[in-house]
Structure 1
Amino acid sequence: MKPVLTPAARRGLASVVLLGFAGFACAHTGADGGVHHESSLVEGLVHPFTGLDHVAAMLAVGAWSAAALRGARAWSAPVAFAVMLLAGALLARAGLQLPAVEPAIAASLLALGLLLAARSQLPMGVGAAVAGGFALFHGAAHGSALPQSASPAAALAGMLVGTVVLHLAGLGIGRMLATRSAWFARTAGALVAALGLFFLAGPAAAQLLN
């Protein structure tokens, strides 16, 4: 079996992880001995795992990349997602609210699920733009939800590391899907897309029932 990550992919994702730890290292000072920053790092680290929509999207990015793309294209979308996730979180922490965050997150599940189901081989720039565009809204949601008392640099560093972990898991899943019948990728993608439809229809259905 071919390795899940090419050398270029390892370098790209390692750069994101190092960026996260560098942010934590810069924040790890103060009279409290760093306890507050360590707590913030843990809060940020677990945050990507606390919402089914975020977990599904990050896994789907990795799975689609590994199942459908090759070479540099296989890591471009995960790296773009991680970078734009950080950008969205920074915007939210700065007080800039993006419109329609929750619908955009739901739409990301629908789009990423369809890409995975079809194993669409988009050009590298297009795939990165799609992943990065949706990641901006995921990041805005994370940035708004992180406690204001948390150390920003440590919390965001932890969030980046947690995101990369999910992408790596998704890449592993995608590599497995690539070696099996296309039915498996279609099923996995359909489940992610259905989850997106559920989140999109949820508010509308609630309004109809009220």
Structure 2
Amino acid sequence: MNADPVRGDGASRRPAAIASACALSLIAVPAWAHSGTGLAGGFVEGFAHPFGGGDHLLAMVGVGLWGTFLGRPLIYLLPVIFPLMMVAGAIAAMFAVPLPPVETGIAVSVLALGACIAFAWRAPAWAAMTIVAVFAVFHGCAHGRELPSAADPIGYSLGFVFATGLLHLLGIGLGEWGRRAGQARAVRIAGAAIAMFGAMYLFRALPV
């Protein structure tokens, strides 16, 4: 997807408007989508959980946006790889498999995905799939630690994965709009905004 020249006063204001809207919507949600304090369980709770914090939400939308930028087959593969590896990460957490600091890994995922979009990095397929798979493990691990305390862990997991898929589709939809409307610049600005939030999460995740 190549950046097209922006034409007209109305078009020139679109990227800034989109970036501002994204920033305002993200400020309105809590920073973390996972508290580690136990879950009520059930499909509805699992579905709502990813929308409760900016870190998971931004990573999911970022995967869709980057996949759209990279084109086929990654536009289809990345949104499939992420949920699958997220499940693997959740299982690893339930069996106490040692991993690097999870919150740091999640923050890095938001920062890195945003940077990939902002810098329009056309990664090789193997590199893009590896990056998304590794980040998905961290996201799955964060929520897998909570699953044993859920009243309905299977329903919760299904709701969570379904919501994750919808967030991927949201990112794909935004990316497709940018491509068809000649607003590649707006998509890259959105990626920069995601990266900035990732940097903020990383700063908060690092030990003082």
What's the TM-score, normalizing by structure 2?
Answer: 0.74
1:57 corresponds in structure 2 to 59
Q: Return the offset for 1:203.
A: 4.5
2:44 corresponds in structure 1 to 42
Is residue 85–residue 139 contact of structure 1 (8 Å, CA) maintained in 2? yes
Residues 203 and 60 (structure 1 numbering): CA distance in 2 closer, same or farther, change over 3 Å? closer
Q: Return the offset for 1:118.
A: 2.2
Is residue 56–residue 139 contact of structure 2 (8 Å, CA) maintained in 1? yes
CA deviation string 1:128-155 (max 9, x = no partner): 1111110100111112234613222222
Distance 1:75 1:118 in 2: 21
CA deviation string 1:143-171 (max 9, x = no partner): 22346132222221111111101111111
1:136 corresponds in structure 2 to 137
Q: Give me the CA root mean square deviation.
A: 2.0
Is residue 73–residue 123 contact of structure 1 (8 Å, CA) maintained in 2? no
Residues 93 and 161 (structure 1 numbering): CA distance in 2 closer, same or farther, change over 3 Å? same
Question: How many residues are treated as equivalent by the alignment?
Answer: 168
Residues 84 and 147 (structure 1 numbering): CA distance in 2 closer, same or farther, change over 3 Å? same
CA deviation string 1:11-30 (max 9, x = no partner): xxxxxxxxxxxxxxxxxxxx
Residues 148 and 97 (structure 1 numbering): CA distance in 2 closer, same or farther, change over 3 Å? farther
Distance 1:57 1:116 in 2: 12
User: Among residues 163, 170, 184, which one is paired with 2:186 in the alignment?
Assistant: 184
Residues 93 and 40 (structure 1 numbering): CA distance in 2 closer, same or farther, change over 3 Å? farther
1:35 corresponds in structure 2 to none
Is residue 44–residue 159 contact of structure 1 (8 Å, CA) maintained in 2? yes
1:200 corresponds in structure 2 to 202
Amino acid aligned to 1:44: G
Amino acid aligned to 1:178: R
2:88 corresponds in structure 1 to 87
Is residue 104–residue 205 contact of structure 2 (8 Å, CA) maintained in 1? no
Q: Does 1:172 align with 2:173?
A: yes
Higher helix share: 1
Distance 1:47 1:94 in 2: 22
What's the TM-score, normalizing by structure 1?
Answer: 0.73
Residues 189 and 125 (structure 1 numbering): CA distance in 2 closer, same or farther, change over 3 Å? same
Equivalent residue runs for 1:150-161 within 5 Å: 150-161=151-162
Is residue 76–residue 127 contact of structure 1 (8 Å, CA) maintained in 2? no
- Using the aligned pairs only, state the percent identity: 38
What are structure 2's unaligned runs of at least 5 residues?
1-39
Distance 1:150 1:97 in 2: 25
Is residue 107–residue 202 contact of structure 2 (8 Å, CA) maintained in 1? yes
Is residue 41–residue 153 contact of structure 2 (8 Å, CA) maintained in 1? no
